Structure 1
């Protein structure tokens, strides 16, 4: 019952309640993001949603325009505190996770949930092996089991198995624990960045997971 109805109901209620705060964040950060390099305020990132459907995930832009898309050895996106692709304000909104706040709009649209597996890039679908496609059984989340307990400290493939664990144990109580653990992690700003070896690049504007 929770997974099929109440989870979506809670998502909508919390997202709508948080909308005024989102507007305040946009009003403050939007002009700063724009005037630092005259680029767009938002970055619409294509991501894999439920059942493999590709959707546009909304983010505040944290990177400079037309920077290369750097990847780690496991195929996940490169993310480091000293990344020269980040703008000055971009470093701040990454550390505080404010770049993810526009995903409240994805929640209202029905693309995402508050709690769930973090969405992968569309091309990652070709890299799934074994049971890894199971992470697409539910809507992706703004935060999830990995983000709450491990942040960016474990490899991508291990994160997928944790996502499957979450799907198999999904409950209201687990979502509550993840929500509050995420809040603590964000406030402490722990393990925001990863520094795995980069292996490939292509032009993009903002590629943080």
Structure 2
């Protein structure tokens, strides 16, 4: 019974999402009808053409629901991880209401602009929130080892081990390595024992591999980069997997490269993968800057009372100014003064040398969980990252961005290896991937990897999701000290 439930988790989850979508879009369209025209008992629900607006609302809800399906927003391959699911929800909704506008204009239908103006934002925000809540339930299930695809990994020992570790480190993606198949390797070759993966075989012919897969019955088979199989064998294996209804996943030897940089081009039956150069185009830089300006200005206006209170509390708690200015290195190596609420005593910099031996950071970065230089109020505002709020002024003046790599100290940049300098290709951020992934608990290598991933795979949707994850990270306080 457990195996059947495991095998059908995709269908169960897609049905769950479909039901949630139906409820949300019906609520949004019916709610917009009531807000715009009054209750269903009101005479205003009858349009000038004699067609009940309530009937129109139901038709719109059904059409919107179908559009979400046609757009692939319920595809199990994108559900529960990453931001592609949200992008498809937004795309389907915007295109749907765009089509309504075009049809209404073409055929001169009396569609109420106010009604559409309420239904679209209300429904879109509700859909995203509902998808987020359902995703949290899915992630709980995946932490318990359920609702994940059981993956058999085929490849060389080193590449199979790398793929297995990568999938194991990201269980929320929904791929659970359960075994390996190492074609063409010597007897006794296995992946590291700490992964707990049994090797099922070493044969290189498609029939033997297919028989093993049929007996093991995984949900998916992943071929890691550099697998020792000729193209004809891989093609035959693909046919066999299609007959067995087992998904086939190709994992090329590309590290930290996201979808926007990858483009496929079929040439003579070969799917050539093009990887674009990881540099922000002028148009992307302009969009990011506009996003930063609008976001920072809005946050400063909303948080102005909080900033004033924090400044007063910091001043009265210990001698010294409310703001602390520190030299940091920004885009392309330019230095700037980063602003923070002062969380330490005024002579903290001069006392740093005496504490170096007690560093609990990751080598390059100095961190102490119980730093004696931190004031009483400073400990509180650090716990909730409130000391970072003045950096919104840095965002306004262009020295920082809302989202980006961590702003490094000049002394840290001096210790950088050559490839780490790529972190400086964009403005540093008030928040970023490393902040929402563990902060001080991360190793230096993981911090660099996350920052470089951000630099090379930037997207506006990614920035928006990092900001949403920042709210959760602040309240969870993981790695904040």
TM bracket (short chain): 0.7 to 0.9
1:162 aligns with 2:443: no
Matched ranges for 1:101-180 at <5 A = 101-180=389-468
Q: Secondary structure at the match of 1:127?
A: coil
For 1:79 and 1:141, how far apart are their aligned partners in 2? 22
Aligned to 1:35: 316
Correspondent of 2:334 among 53, 73, 93:
53
Deviations 1:26-66 (Å, cap 9, x if unpaired)?
32121221122221101001101000111000000001121
Give CA-to-partner distance per residue, 1:58-110, whole Å, 9 cap, x none. Answer: 00000112122245361312231x22211111011001111000000000000
Question: Which runs of no fewer than 5 residues in structure 2 stay unpaired?
Answer: 1-280
Find the partner of 1:77 among 361, 366, 371. Answer: 366
Aligned counterpart, 1:17? 298
Q: 1:22 to 1:79 in 2, by over 3 A?
A: farther
SS at match of 2:381: helix
Does the CA-based 8 Å contact 1:113-1:141 persist in structure 2?
yes
Give secondary structure in 1 for the equivalent of 2:346: coil
Compare CA radii of gyration and give the structure with the larger one. 2
Paired positions, count: 192
> Corresponding residue for 1:26?
307
Once the 2 structures are TM-superposed, how far is the Cα of residue 179 of structure 1 from its aligned partner?
Answer: 1.2
Matching residue of 1:90: 378
Q: Is the 1:149–1:182 contact (alpha carbons within 8 Å) kept by the matching residues of 2?
A: no
TM-score with structure 1 length normalisation? Answer: 0.86
**1 or 2 for the larger relative contact order (CA 8 Å, sep ≥6)?**
1
Q: In the alignment, what sits opposite 2:474? A: 186
Q: How many Å separate the matches in 2 of 1:46 and 1:137?
A: 18
Q: How big is the alpha-carbon RMSD for the aligned residues of Structure 1 and Structure 2? A: 1.6
Greater share of residues in helix: 2
Deviation at 1:114, TM superposition (A): 0.3
Q: What displacement does 1:111 show?
A: 0.3
How far apart, CA to CA, are the structure 1 residues paired with 2:437 and 2:413?
A: 24
Structure 2: how far apart are the matches of 1:52 and 1:164?
16
- Per-residue displacement from partner, 1:138-166 (whole Å, max 9, x unpaired)? 00000001111222211234312221111
- CA shift for structure 1 position 190: 1.8
Local SS of the residue matching 2:451: helix
Q: Secondary structure at 1:33's aligned position in 2?
A: helix
2:297 and 2:392 map into 1 onto residues whose CA distance is: 8
Judge conservation of contact 1:149–1:181 (CA < 8 Å) in 2: no
